[in-house]
Structure 1
Amino acid sequence: MGTAIVWLVGTIVTLLIWMIIASAILSWLFAFDVINHRNRFVNQLASFLDAVTSPLLAPFRRIIPPLGGMDITPIVVLLLLNFGRILFYQTLAGPLIRTLG
């Protein structure tokens, strides 16, 4: 059970990281007019990614101002997610697996 919980936490953090990366790339494609919101699939994908990543990015956007028109909050959140994942694996994963099996 503990191994499954550790796997689930790691997988969720990895999915969040990939969604933040995809959201940032999609925003760049919109900014450079490579794709637009008129495409229904692209619009739904952008809405989904925004709904998933916005709760993670919004608190940091209030604190960190854009630097030269560039939003660096995804980079900060990616660093913190990776830090949290490493911290989880180093401190909590072992005891959790030993306790729950």
Structure 2
Amino acid sequence: MTSLFQILMLLINVAFFIVIAHVIMSWLINFGVLNMRQPIVAQIWDGLNRLLEPVYAPIRRLLPNMGGLDLAPLVVILGLYALEIILRNNVALFL
């Protein structure tokens, strides 16, 4: 069962880094550092959007309109961190 706990923690960490990569890439695109006309940038951006949009969409519906500020990634990061805390506090169930 310890391996199940480690696999769950790995999945949470991978999801966390995917969200962070999406946030950083959106900043780089908005500030003009990355050009969306480059095929590799467009493919990575499209892949991250397809991966994360099903997660962000329900959260965006619940959050109030903040103008141009998107708080959905922050809510997802906080949710992943809360899930990690819950798993770590209940690690005895996996032993």
Per the normalisation by structure 1, the TM-score is 0.85
Summarize the Cα distance change of 1:44–1:18 in structure 2 as closer, same or farther, 3 Å threshold.
same
Root-mean-square deviation (Å): 1.3
Aligned AA (1:31) = N
Unaligned runs of 5+ in 1: none
Per the normalisation by structure 2, the TM-score is 0.89
Aligned AA (2:22) = S
Instruction: Say if 2:15 is the partner of 1:16.
Output: yes
Unaligned runs of 5+ in 2: none
CA distance in 1, matches of 2:65, 2:73: 11
Identity value in percent: 31
Instruction: Say if 2:64 is the partner of 1:95.
Output: no
Per the TM alignment, residue 67 of structure 1 is displaced from its structure 2 partner at its CA by 2.1
Aligned AA (1:14) = N
Per the TM alignment, residue 38 of structure 1 is displaced from its structure 2 partner at its CA by 1.1
Q: Who is 2:46 aligned against?
A: 47
User: Which fold has the larger relative contact order, with Cα–Cα distance below 8 Å and residues 6 or more apart in sequence?
Assistant: 1
Per the TM alignment, residue 9 of structure 1 is displaced from its structure 2 partner at its CA by 0.5
Aligned AA (1:95) = L
